């Protein structure tokens, strides 16, 4: 299956890992624990294994961690692929694969950026999620949707412990399904300056994701917050095209202008098997094009992991020794 990238991703933001396959294989030898049965041991081994990846991979990951980049994403192409993946059907629930190359790659790369963590509301706290289309959910604004475009958002933008990075590893591709993204740096360069300051004001009331209890998918029922925060010259952002509302006319006007610019500067790519996309969740929004699933075991299949730069930040919401955030939302 041939899958062509669309849009424009700056070449310096793409790392071809085909030359590192032997290094990846050598690193995998340090990982013997089962990622779903002995999670803490698996993560410890993956962290040790990540130290044995080549310096030519460490350097761009460290640079992305310290300084970010203009696009807000880093793409690792030609990573190790799951053996015999063509014989494994796209799962509708628990993965049927017996090897864990994808989980190991996600965990090793995550270890260079922080620590993998999860939310108790998503797959009962599982750290690795199969991102696949699901029957009956085709029209939902969620990872399981397919027949509608997944609109621009930052991951868990409403949550007090939102991810710093989102990792997406492609196991199976579909040519019509593209992942798209826009960076705050590209957006600010295009956005009319009259809207800059108001986007730093806590005048935007977001909605809570349905999996966290917002079953009616109501807009604006979450906390009020600014869209832009941090350094005014190099800010972070939180945003949800589907669920966020401005609390005043001027705030909504600025939000509408922001949405138009994000659409204008967006970049996109059709992820291929072995691609691992790192999204800086503080500096880029992302989404997905619509596509038509067949539910025949050959549909698009990504695995996702969420990373926080310092897990200690979630200590008040986690049990000791866990990576699962247990913050509850009530409606």
Lowest mean pLDDT among 118-127, 162-171, 203-212: 203-212
Each residue's pLDDT tens digit, 27-39: 999 999 999 999 9
Which whole number is the average pLDDT over 153-161? 95
Pairing of strands 14-16, 284-288: unpaired
Please answer whether residues 199 and 227 qualify as being in contact, where contact means their C-beta atoms are separated by less than 8 angstroms: yes
Q: What is the DSSP letter of 90?
A: P
At 280 the three-state DSSP class reads strand
Residue identified by tokens 């009020």 is 224
Please answer whether residues 143 and 303 qualify as being in contact, where contact means their C-beta atoms are separated by less than 8 angstroms: no
Domains in the chain (CATH in brackets) are 12-325 (3.60.130.10)
Which whole number is the average pLDDT over 173-202? 96
pTM: 0.94
Structure tokens at 76: 């690792």
Please answer whether residues 254 and 199 qualify as being in contact, where contact means their C-beta atoms are separated by less than 8 angstroms: yes
Long-range Cβ contact pairs of 310-317 (< 8 A, separation 24 or more):
310/114, 310/115, 311/114, 311/115, 311/117, 313/161, 314/117, 314/161, 317/160, 317/161
Check whether 2 has a pLDDT greater than 70.
no
Each residue's pLDDT tens digit, 140-155: 878 888 889 999 999 9
Residue 60, judged by CB atoms within 10 A of its CB (0-12, 13-18, 19+), counts as middle
Q: What is the pLDDT of residue 191?
A: 98
Each residue's pLDDT tens digit, 232-274: 999 999 999 999 999 999 999 999 999 999 999 999 999 999 9
Q: What is the pLDDT of residue 9?
A: 55
Q: Which residues contact 298 (CB under 8 A, 6 or more apart)?
A: 89, 90, 172
Q: What is the pLDDT of residue 331?
A: 60
Three state DSSP letters for 213-261: CCCCCCCCCCCEECCEECCCCCCEECCECCCCEECCHHHHHHHHHHHHH
Query: Can you say how many angstroms the Cα of residue 224 is from the centroid of all Cα atoms in its chain?
Result: 23
Check whether 67 has a pLDDT greater than 90.
yes
Mean pLDDT score of the chain:
91
Check whether 4 has a pLDDT greater than 80.
no
Q: What is the pLDDT of residue 140?
A: 86
Residue identified by tokens 């669920």 is 243
Residue identified by tokens 């591709």 is 173
Please answer whether residues 302 and 168 qualify as being in contact, where contact means their C-beta atoms are separated by less than 8 angstroms: yes
At 93 the three-state DSSP class reads coil
Q: What is the pLDDT of residue 91?
A: 87
Q: What is the pLDDT of residue 94?
A: 65
Check whether 215 has a pLDDT greater than 80.
no
């Amino acid at each position: 299956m041939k899958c062509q990238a669309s849009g424009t991703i700056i070449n310096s933001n793409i790392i071809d890992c085909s030359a590192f396959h032997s290094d990846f294989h050598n690193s995998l030898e340090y990982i013997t624990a089962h990622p779903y049965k002995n999670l803490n041991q698996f993560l410890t081994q993956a962290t040790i294994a990540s130290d044995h990846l080549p310096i030519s991979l460490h350097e761009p990951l460290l640079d992305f961690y310290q300084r970010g980049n203009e696009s807000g994403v880093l793409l690792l192409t030609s990573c190790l692929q799951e053996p015999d993946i063509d014989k494994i059907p796209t799962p509708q629930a628990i993965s049927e694969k017996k090897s864990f190359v994808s989980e190991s790659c996600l965990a090793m790369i995550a270890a260079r950026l922080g620590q993998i963590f999860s939310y108790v509301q998503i797959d009962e706290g599982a750290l690795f999620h199969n991102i696949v289309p699901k029957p009956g959910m085709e029209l939902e604004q969620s990872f399981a949707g397919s027949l509608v475009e997944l609109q621009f958002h930052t991951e868990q933008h409403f949550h007090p412990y939102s991810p710093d990075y989102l990792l997406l590893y492609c196991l199976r591709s579909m040519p019509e399904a593209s992942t798209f993204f826009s960076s705050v740096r590209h957006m600010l360069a295009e956005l009319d300056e009259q809207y800059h300051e108001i986007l730093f004001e806590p005048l935007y009331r977001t909605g809570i994701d349905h999996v966290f209890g917002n079953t009616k998918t109501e807009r604006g029922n979450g906390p009020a917050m600014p869209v832009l925060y941090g350094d005014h010259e190099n800010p972070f952002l939180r945003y949800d095209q589907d669920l966020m509302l401005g609390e005043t006319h001027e705030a909504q006007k600025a939000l509408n202008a922001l949405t138009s610019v994000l659409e204008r500067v967006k970049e996109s790519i059709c992820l291929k098997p072995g691609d691992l996309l790192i999204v800086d969740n503080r500096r880029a929004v992302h989404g997905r094009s619509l596509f038509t699933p067949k539910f025949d075991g050959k549909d698009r299949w990504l695995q996702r992991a969420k990373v926080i730069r310092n897990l200690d930040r979630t200590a008040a919401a986690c049990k000791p020794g866990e990576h699962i955030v247990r913050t509850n939302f009530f409606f």
